[in-house]
Structures are given as structure tokens and as C-alpha cells.
Amino acid sequence: MVGSINVDLIQSVEGLPRPGETVLSFRSTRLPGGKGANQAVAAARMGAPTRMTGAVGTDEGGEWMRRLLQEHGVETDGIRSLEDYSTGLALIAVDCSGENQIIVNSGANEAVEPFHIGALAQDARALLAQLEIKADTVRALFTTPGAEDRIRILNAAPALPEAHGLFEHTDILIVNQHELAHYVALDVAPETAEEALVARKLISRPDQVVIVTLGALGAVAVWQDRHFHAPALSVNPVDTIGAGDCFCGALAALLDAGETIESALPLANAAAALCTQKEGAIPAMPSRSEAEAALTGGV
């Protein structure tokens, strides 16, 4: 895993502010986050041996994040503490329906360089990355010697133009419907599994798959010649922060353990649904047994 590490400052508000508007929050919370860290914890909670490459500052937030990752079973030797940078910071507003807006200051995440990737661990079957670090660093991970023999999973979030150059080196691309709209240049985001089949435009090899997450409608995996739709569990979200990350980390862990996409998607969906039932990202990541219980018994 290579990715971002952030401290999340969460403001709970009645309604999200419109441009130019000031709103009062009724609660402020400081929680661990960052798409990379969230996905690493989700994978570890799903039972995968998880190593993370990334960077934090030498500030209190960085020490806090490293300690929390370790407590969740993530190996942190590949996380560098950089004196000249502050730890990544995300300002997050969450409204009463669980919808959110996020602004990220990258801090040390922008200093995760291609040469930090190093050699791949012998036993790492799945490689997972997102786009809160430099695209060149993700390219270095996916093109490093031996990477083509692993499962290279890219969560292309946030949507960035430079992601297109990574798709040819990716085996499994994961996007939500808004990111999909960005990458295939649609004005309106696909809303249904049928509409999400437009993801085929991003496939250039028969062995590639695009997985589109559709919120309450679950996720659909799209290959060149077929697709597989796994519906979501029905939940009332407390907040949706990190739910997509939970899905990505859980899915990577299950594929790393040798499961197929068809067998892994329902459990990854169940994990993501559980993640919406608690505040924040990392504190909300469920264990494998919790996700399995939700899948069989409901949330």
C-alpha cells in the first residue's frame, strides 16, 4: 500500500455551506484519516498483512497517526517522518444526512516520491494506491520490477487528469460514479449499474476490470465482455467518510487472500456499509467477522 495519511478535522453541521455561506457546526472532532491510511486500516481489519509507504511530519499529528496505524496492525516502517513538512490535514464538513465535503492540505503526502517505493515485499499479492500522493509515485509502484505479477489496484480518487496515464499499468481500477463521470467525460454521473457500464471505455486489456461504487446501490465490476453487480446492504448512514476507502481496503485484502472479485464484492460492500454506522474513517473500519455477520444478518 502506498498512500496518504491525514489528520481529519470534522465539523458536524445541519447543512453543508454553499459558496460564500458561513454555517455553525454543532460538533468538532479530530480523527485519524487520509485515503491511504484509511484503506490500510480497512485491509488490516479484514485480515491482510498490510505494509504502508507514505509520509508524515515530525509534528504531534504525525506521531499520532503512526501510532494509530500500528495499533490497527499496519506495518509502518515505510512511513517517513519529514522535518520540513506538516502532516496532511483534511477539513471535513458532514451534514445530518451523512453527506460530506472535504478539503485536503497535502503536507508531507506531497513528498512521497517514486524512489521511496523500494523493492516489493515477497508475500504482497495485492498492491493498492490512491491519488492523494503524486501520480508518478503510483506509477513507480505499479511499474517496479515484479509488480506486473501482482494485483495492481488503483482507487483513482480524487479524480485527476494525470490518472489516465496510470490506467494501462492497473489491473483493477476502483472509482465512484462521480469519478467515473470525470474519467469518461460525462456531464451527469451514472446512477445505476447499467449506466455504470460506460466504465468499459477505460479498459484497454481483456484482463482489466473497473469497479464502480454506487453508494446505496452497491458496486458493479465491469470487464470488457461481462459485468457483476453486488447490491449494498441497506443502512442509515451516520457519516459516509471513509466508506469508499473501507470498500477498497477490504476488497484488496480479500483479493490478496485469493478470493475472486465475485466472491469479494459482497463482503467489501458489507464492510463499507458498516463503516457508515460510526463517525469518521479509521475508527469506523469493521473487522472481517463484523462484516461477515452484517452480510448474513444485516446491519
Q: Which is nearer to ligand RIB, 33 or 218 (CB)?
A: 33
Show contacts with ligand RIB in window 245-264 (CB under 6 A). 245
User: Which one of 19-27, 160-168, 239-247, 262-270 is the stretch in contact with ligand RIB (CB under 6 A)?
Assistant: 239-247
Instruction: Kindly give the residue spans of alpha helices, DSSP state H, lying in the chain.
Output: 35-45, 60-71, 135-143, 177-183, 243-256, 261-275, 288-297
User: Shortest distance, CB of residue 38 to ligand RIB, whole angstroms?
Assistant: 5
Contact 133, 112 (CB under 8 A): yes
User: Which one of 2-10, 116-124, 145-153, 226-234 is the stretch in contact with ligand RIB (CB under 6 A)?
Assistant: 2-10
Let me know the angle formed at the C-alpha of 208 by 54 and 234, rounded to the nearest 5 degrees: 75
132 binds ligand RIB, rule: CB under 6 A: yes
281 binds ligand RIB, rule: CB under 6 A: yes
Q: Which three cell numbers stand for residue 184?
A: 469518461
Q: Which three cell numbers stand for residue 41?
A: 486500516
User: Shortest distance, CB of residue 88 to ligand RIB, whole angstroms?
Assistant: 7
Q: Which is nearer to ligand RIB, 105 or 143 (CB)?
A: 105
242 binds ligand RIB, rule: CB under 6 A: yes
User: Shortest distance, CB of residue 8 to ligand RIB, whole angstroms?
Assistant: 5
DSSP string, 178-221: HHHHHHTT-SS---STTGGGGGGGG--STT-EEEEE-GGG-EEE
Return the residue of 11, 12, 38, 213 that touches ligand RIB, per CB under 6 A.
38
Would you say how long the chain is, in residues?
Answer: 299
Exposure of 200 by Cβ count < 10 A (0-12 exposed, 13-18 middle, 19+ buried)? middle
User: Shortest distance, CB of residue 84 to ligand RIB, whole angstroms?
Assistant: 21
208 binds ligand RIB, rule: CB under 6 A: no
Q: Which three cell numbers stand for residue 203?
A: 479498459
User: Which one of 51-59, 111-119, 209-217, 238-246 is the stretch in contact with ligand RIB (CB under 6 A)?
Assistant: 238-246
Cα(121)–Cα(188) distance, integer angstroms: 41
User: Which one of 29-37, 59-67, 143-151, 180-188 is the stretch in contact with ligand RIB (CB under 6 A)?
Assistant: 29-37
Determine the residue type at 171: D
Return the residue of 41, 48, 90, 111 that touches ligand RIB, per CB under 6 A.
90
6 binds ligand RIB, rule: CB under 6 A: yes
Q: Among 297, 273, 159, which Cα is nearest to 215's?
A: 273
Closest residue to ligand RIB, Cβ-based? 33
In degrees and rounded to multiples of 5, residue 271 shows phi and psi of: -60, -45
Cα(100)–Cα(249) distance, integer angstroms: 20
Return the residue of 2, 35, 153, 261 that touches ligand RIB, per CB under 6 A.
35
Of 8, 171, 245, 256, the active-site residue reads 245
Instruction: Give catalytic status of residue 171 as yes or no.
Output: no
Which residues contribute to the site for ligand RIB (CB under 6 A)?
A: 4, 6, 8, 33-35, 38, 90, 102, 104, 132, 241-242, 244-245, 281
Q: Which residues are marked as active site?
A: 245
